[in-house]
Structure 1
Amino acid sequence: MHNTRVEKNGRKTQDIIKNKMQFSAKWPKLEEQVKEFVLNHRKAGIALSTKMIIIQAVKISKELQVHDFKGTASWCQRFMKRQELRMRTRTRIAQRMPDDYEEKIINFHNFIIKQRKRKKFEIGQIGNMDEVPLTFDVPSNKTVEARGAKTVTIKTSGHEKNHYTVVLAVTADGNKLPPLVIFKRKTLPKEKIPRGIQVHVHPKGWMDEEGMKLWIRNVWKKRPGALLKKPSLLVLDSFRSHLTEPTKREFQMCKTEIAVIPGGLTSQLQPLDVCINKPFKALMREEWNKYMCDKNQHEVTNSGRMKRPGISKVCQWIKTSWDAVKEDIVIKSFKKCGISNALDGEEDELIYEDSSNESSSVHFDFEDSSEDEEFLGFPDSDF
C-alpha cells in the first residue's frame, strides 16, 4: 500500500512538472514585448483582437530573429492565459420573432417557388439587397484586456454616432454588386472615391426614394445579364422606400419582380442578414482597428483632437471589406434562406392549393413594417 501511494504521488508530481513546462513561455522576450504592445494599446483605449496580437507577434519575432515562431491561434490562447489576458464583450438583445412566423415563412417560400416556376429565373438573376448602417468609428464589441480590470475603455475619434448607410446587394450565383454608400450631408463629397463604389447623399444618411432610383439605375441595371433584360427576382425587406410606386415602376421597367420579406423575419429569410452582413461588419471593424493603431494616418484639429476618418478612406474600407467576403458564403446564404434551392417534388408539396384567382401583384407584400424601422430608416438594424 505504501509503495502504491509513493507511485501515485510520483505520477502527480510528474504531471505537475509536465503541465508547467507546457505552460511556460518558449519565447519569453517575445511575449514580454507583445504584452507591452497589448497594455500600451489598451491604455490608449484601442480595441484589440487576437488576430491583431498574432500579427504583432509575428512582426516582433522577425525583429528578434526568432525563426521557429509561427504565430498560431493556439499560441495566442496560451499567451493570453500566461499573461492573464481575457476577451471582454458586450451583450445584445435578440430580435423577437412574430407569433405566426412559421406560417409567414412557409408562405414566403411558396411564393418564391411559384415565381421561379413561372419565370424560370436564372440563378444569377435572383438577388438580395439590404441597407447596412455603419458609423465612422467602428469600435469592436470585444477587446483583450488584463484580467480583473474594473473598467474597459476603447478609444475612438468621437464619431461613433455619426452614421452612414452602405447598400449591399448579391446574387444567388455568388456575385457581389458594387456597394452604394449614402453619407449624411447635402452635397456630394469632393474627395476621390475608389472605383467600384457608388456614392449618394441624404440629409439624414438614409435610403429614400431617390436613393432607390439611383441604386436601380447604377447598380441593379448594370449587373451581369441586365443588359439582355433577363427576367429577375429581387428579395427585399419591408422598408417603405422599397415599396413606393415610383420604385415599383423602376423594377417593372427592368423586368424585375420583388419578393418582400415579412416584417421581423429578415434574420430568417434575408441572405445578407443571415450570412453576409456580420462578416462584412467584422471586416470593417478590422480595417478601423488598423487605422486606429497606425498613428501616421490620424489627422488632428488645432486643439489636438483626432479628426474622423475621411470619406475616401471609409469608402476604401468598404471596398476592401466587401471584396474580402467570400463568394461561397453568398451562394450558401441563398440556399440557407430557401431561395435558390433546386426545385423538386418535395418543394412542390409545400405549395398550398389556392382556388382563388391569382393576384396580379408582382411582389409578396406584408405591409407590417414597424414604426421604429420607418423612423430609423434602418430595417432590423444591429446598431
Structure 2
Amino acid sequence: MLIWDDFSAHWTAEVIQYAAQKNVILQRVPPGYTHCCQPADISWNKPLKDRLRAGWLQHLKLECSRLLTSNEGKMRAPDRAQVVKWLRAAWDGLSKATIKSGFKRVRLLFNKRTVEQAECEAPNVNNELAEILESLSCVDSVVGEVTWDDDVVGRYL
C-alpha cells in the first residue's frame, strides 16, 4: 500500500496502471489531512530535510570560501552524484525508531507492534553563511528574508 497526497505526478494513468500490475494499493490522503495521515510527513521528512540541508550548507560554505580566495565570480552547483551522496547519508542517518514512529502515529503498525518514541531534532540555525553570501552579493533580493522553517520553493509555485 502507498499512501499519497494529491501531488499530480502520483496519480497519472501510467502510475495507477503500474501499481495495479505490481498489486500495490494506492490510497489518496484527503486534502488538508497530510499532516495526520502520512507517516513520512509526521516523523521523518523534517529530520531528512534537515540532514540534506546540512550537506547543502556545507557545499555553500565551501563555495563561499573558494570565491573569497579566487577571482571566479560564480558559485558552482553540486553535481547529481554529490546530491545523491547527501540523500543517502541523510536517509542512513534516520533511525528505525524514527521511521516506525510515523507509522505508529497514524496507526499503521499492526499485530500490536510497539516502537520507542523518537526524539524530534532541533534545527541548527546559523546566520554566518547568510552573512557571507550577502557580502559576496549572492543573496536574491526577490526572495527576501527566509526563516529556518520557510519553504521558499513552495512560496513561488
Could you state the TM-score of these two structures normalised by the residue count of structure 2?
0.61
Residues 241/292 of structure 1: CA separation in 2 closer, same or farther (3 Å cut): closer
Is this contact kept in 2: 1:279–1:325, CA < 8 A?
Answer: yes
| Among 317, 324, 328, the residue aligned to 2:86 | 317
Gapped regions of structure 1 (runs ≥ 5): 1-232, 344-380
**Residue-by-residue CA offset, 1:8-47 (whole Å, 9 max, x unaligned):** xxxxxxxxxxxxxxxxxxxxxxxxxxxxxxxxxxxxxxxx
Amino acid at match of 1:336: R
Residues 308/342 of structure 1: CA separation in 2 closer, same or farther (3 Å cut): same
Q: CA deviation at 1:299?
A: 7.5
Is this contact kept in 1: 2:3–2:38, CA < 8 A?
Answer: yes
Counterpart Cα distance in 1 of 2:67 and 2:103? 42
Is this contact kept in 1: 2:48–2:91, CA < 8 A?
Answer: yes
Q: CA deviation at 1:306?
A: 1.8
Identity score, percent: 25
Is this contact kept in 1: 2:36–2:106, CA < 8 A?
Answer: yes
Q: CA deviation at 1:277?
A: 0.7
Counterpart Cα distance in 2 of 1:334 and 1:267? 13
- 2:100: which partner in 1? 331
2:25 counterpart SS class: strand
Q: CA deviation at 1:261?
A: 0.6
Structure with the bigger percentage of strand: 1
Residues 244/293 of structure 1: CA separation in 2 closer, same or farther (3 Å cut): closer
Counterpart Cα distance in 2 of 1:298 and 1:312? 20
Q: CA deviation at 1:258?
A: 1.2
CA RMSD in angstroms comes to: 2.8
Residues 245/324 of structure 1: CA separation in 2 closer, same or farther (3 Å cut): same
| Among 33, 39, 42, the residue aligned to 1:274 | 42
- 1:261: which partner in 2? 29
Amino acid at match of 1:234: L
Give the 5 Å matches for 1:129-278.
233-278=1-46
Q: CA deviation at 1:251?
A: 0.8
Structure with the bigger percentage of helix: 2
Is this contact kept in 1: 2:63–2:76, CA < 8 A?
Answer: no
**Residue-by-residue CA offset, 1:223-253 (whole Å, 9 max, x unaligned):** xxxxxxxxxx111112222223322111111
Counterpart Cα distance in 2 of 1:298 and 1:318? 24
